[in-house]
Amino acid sequence: MTRRHALTDDQVRAARAAYKPGVRGAGYESVARQLGVAVSTVRDALTGRTAYPAAVSEVRQ
């Protein structure tokens, strides 16, 4: 069974600051590695697919 991890608001903010689309070494994979979570967790948080309050409010602005 796989353990699921959730991101804190601070981690979501850090991921948004670190993620730079198109910049080598600053993509979803790199951010996921830094936070110790799956790539899909980072992608879902940054795109607003998962309801992380910090991510959703920043995406909607």
DSSP string, 12-38: HHHHHHH--TTSTT-SHHHHHHHHTS-
What is the structure's pLDDT at 5? 64
Stronger pLDDT, 6 or 38, i.e. the higher one: 38
- Other C-beta atoms lying within 10 Å of the C-beta of residue 52: 23
C-alpha distance across the termini of the chain, in Å: 37
Is residue 17 within 8 A of residue 11, CB to CB? The reply is no
Beta-carbon neighbour count of residue 8 at 10 Å?
11
| pLDDT tens-digit readout, 11-43 | 888 888 888 888 887 888 988 898 888 898 888
Mean pLDDT along residues 41-58:
68
pTM over the 0.75 mark: no
Residue 3 has pLDDT above 80, yes or no: no
